[in-house]
Each structure stands twice: as C-alpha cells, then as structure tokens.
Amino acid sequence: MHILGIETSCDETAAAVVTGGTIIRSSVVASQIDLHRQYGGVFPEMASRQHVLSIAPVVQQAIEQSGLAPQELAGIAVTYGPGLAGSLVVGVNYAKGLAFGYDLPLIGVNHIEAHIYGNWLRPAAETEEVSTPVFPSLALIVSGGHTMLILVRGHGDYEVLGQTLDDAAGEAFDKVARLLGLSYPGGPAIQSVAEQGNPRVFSLPRAWLRGTYDFSFSGLKTAVLHVVEQYGVDPHQWKQGVAARNGVAAAAISATRLLPVADLAASFQEAVVDVLVQKTKLAAEEHQVQQVILGGGVAANRMLRTEMTQSLDCPVLVPPPVLCTDNGAPIAAVGYYRLQAGERSSWDLDVVANLALS
C-alpha cells in the first residue's frame, strides 16, 4: 500500500511516498531556512507564500521519484496541525485537490504523531531491517515548537505525560543562538560551536519541576542573557551568522570583555540535554516501556543522542537527522496506519493550529 504524505506545517515544503508504512520510496524537502535566516526565525506570511510556490513541484517530484503513477497510490495524507495556520492551509488544500482529482482517500495527520513515526521508517535503498513499533514506547518529541514526553500504548493510543510550560527546546536553542550571535537555526549552530567549548565553565540552572514530566527552558535562556550582559555584550548588536565561524573572535567585535561563546554554548547545551535525559529516564522507568524513541529537530543533536543512549537501560531509537526534522515520510506512515484502521478525513477537513495529540 503506497501513501503520499504532504507536510507544510512550518517552513519546510515536503512530500514523500511511503510503502507499507515503513519504506520510503521518495522524499523531497524544499527548505526555506535561507529565506528566514535574515529574520532570525520563521516569518509566517513569507512561509505560507513560499509554500504556495513550492508545493506543486515538490509533490510532483515526490511522485515521479517514487516510480509510481498517482493512480497507484492508496491515499493522500497531509498535516492539518499543529503548526502555522497559513502554512498548513496550503498543504491541506493541495492534498484535497489531488485526492479529489484522483479519487483517493484523504487522511489528515497530526504533526506530533508523525515525529513519533519517523523512528519506524527506512529508505528503500537500505537493506537493514527497520525497527518495528513496540508498545508501550516512550516518545520524546523535541522541536522548534514542541517539547513533549508521550507514552505510546499502541498505534493512535497516546498519553501526554508532560510538556514545556514556556519555550520549546528548539526555540531555546534558536533564542540562545541569537544571544550568542550565532546563525539561524540555532540548534546546529550551537552544537558545532559547543563541541569546541567546555561545558563546566558556566553553571547554568536546570528547571527540574520535580514530581511532573513538564519542562521549562525560559529561565535557562534568561541565565544565558545575564552572562552575555555581564561580559558587556549587547546581544542586539550581533550580526546574524558572523560568530558562527569563529565564536570567540566574533564576540570580540562588540564585547568589552571577550565572551567565551563556545564555553557558554557548551554549558547551555549540556543543561538542556541533562534535563531532557533525566526526565525521559524517570518516565521510562515509571512506565516500564519497551523502547524510547526520539523525534523532532532537536533529536538531531549529537550530545542528546549520545547521552540518551548511554543513560537509559532500554533500547533508544533515534531517526537519522533527516528524519528528525520536518519531512513528508512520517506523515505518509501515520496515514498508512490510520487508513488501515479504516479512518479517512472528509472534504471539509480544516487546519487546526493548536491541534492536540489524541
């Protein structure tokens, strides 16, 4: 059974064809990162306009590269939330038109659910066995918009154990990168600078929120701001991307004292990873899960992947980085399981910007 998955919830226009819910026949992603970099974050109206330009060629390429004719598809799955309404609407309407035109079922998919399913996919060219879903699993979804610990009891059977009370983990990476004069998106920029720094130099706070599985990263971000200010740096003066190449030297441009960007980035990254790993470990033990799975852009973080694998007693699944960030393949995978369960969406499917996981 071949499903086309379409994803436009944020700043990636993406489409993929997946067979049997696991094998990726094609996956095309048109990233808008270069467009949004000048604003230091996603500019919503520009994102939706760019989706309008990219959606047709991206979907066409995904179908062509799959080697299938549209009539051979069993259904069209599309993200309908959560995300930016103006971005979601482009994918949903395109999917509707295509499904209607080819007389195929339309399946609306929750973006968070798709991040979970990124763990159970493999490219067609790879012969390695794909990890199959094992329940109960614990999913840690960490992206630019979400930080969630989810108990996965079965396909479509979820309990949200905890989530962020303020900034998402990826959002914290992006905001702290701006404070340090690093480029957007902040996660990869902080990661590479941090690898040259010493995480013991700055003692940054961890919001443990004991007794809950909730998270909070805004205090950590403020603590980084205070350190930056103590060094006499005005974060508003940074030119995006300048410091990414050489943190310490670039910091000197506007600092009255040298700001050790690499050490601060390393200390920040360690504080985020520490909380994510410890909370996931506690929840995995309490709920005696069979496996822990990671998803979302922050799951591409090398330190998080290593620490999580080393600290937990159960198997930890981490998708390859290209499947951590937004793409169409996991949307198609969720669509496959939903269609198998006899579900399909009606033609009045609407976008839901703050869609909950259910």
Per CB under 6 A, residues contacting ligand KG4 are: 10, 143-145, 170, 173-174, 185-188, 191, 296-298, 300-301, 325-326
**Nearest approach, Cβ of 185 to ligand KG4 (angstroms)?**
4
188: partner contacted, choices Zn ion, ligand KG4, none (Cβ within 5-8 A by kind): ligand KG4
Amino acid code (one letter) for 8: T
Residue 30's beta-bridge partner residues?
Answer: 13
Rounded to whole angstroms, the Cα distance separating 35 from 213 reads 36
Residue closer to ligand KG4, measured from CB, 21 or 185: 185
Residue closer to ligand KG4, measured from CB, 21 or 295: 295
Q: Contact between 301 and Zn ion (CB under 5 A)? A: no
Q: Contact between 8 and Zn ion (CB under 5 A)? A: no
Residue closer to ligand KG4, measured from CB, 9 or 66: 9
The encoded tokens of residue 187 equal 């996660």
Rounded to whole angstroms, the Cα distance separating 232 from 320 reads 40
Count interface residues toward Zn ion (CB under 5 A). 2
**Nearest approach, Cβ of 256 to ligand KG4 (angstroms)?**
29
144: partner contacted, choices Zn ion, ligand KG4, none (Cβ within 5-8 A by kind): ligand KG4
Nearest to Zn ion by Cβ — which residue? 143
Residue closer to ligand KG4, measured from CB, 330 or 335: 330
Q: Give a three-class secondary structure readout of the chain.
A: CEEEEEECCCCEEEEEEEECCCEEEEEEEEECHHHHHCCCCCCHHHHHHHHHHHHHHHHHHHHHHHCCCHHHCCEEEEEEECCCHHHHHHHHHHHHHHHHHHCCCEEEEEHHHHHHHHHHCEECCCCCCCCCCCCCEEEEEECCCCEEEEEEEECCEEEEEEEECCCCHHHHHHHHHHHCCCCCCHHHHHHHHHCCCCCCCCCCCCCCCCCCCCECCHHHHHHHHHHHHHCCCCHHHCCCCHHHHCHHHHHCCCCCCCCCHHHHHHHHHHHHHHHHHHHHHHHHHHCCCCEEEEECHHHHCHHHHHHHHHHCCCCEECCCHHHHCCCCHHHHHHHHHHHHCCCCCCCCCCCCCCCCCC
**Nearest approach, Cβ of 122 to ligand KG4 (angstroms)?**
19
Question: Where does this chain touch Zn ion (CB under 5 A) — which range of 73-81, 139-147, 281-289, 311-319?
Answer: 139-147
Q: Contact between 110 and Zn ion (CB under 5 A)? A: no
7: partner contacted, choices Zn ion, ligand KG4, none (Cβ within 5-8 A by kind): none
Contacting Zn ion within 303-332 (CB under 5 A): 326
Of 143, 269, 280, 345, the one binding Zn ion (CB under 5 A) is 143
**Nearest approach, Cβ of 9 to Zn ion (angstroms)?**
7
**Nearest approach, Cβ of 143 to Zn ion (angstroms)?**
4
Residue closer to Zn ion, measured from CB, 174 or 326: 326
Residue closer to ligand KG4, measured from CB, 181 or 186: 186
Q: Contact between 183 and Zn ion (CB under 5 A)? A: no
Residue closer to ligand KG4, measured from CB, 75 or 296: 296
Rule CB under 5 A: which residues touch Zn ion? 143, 326
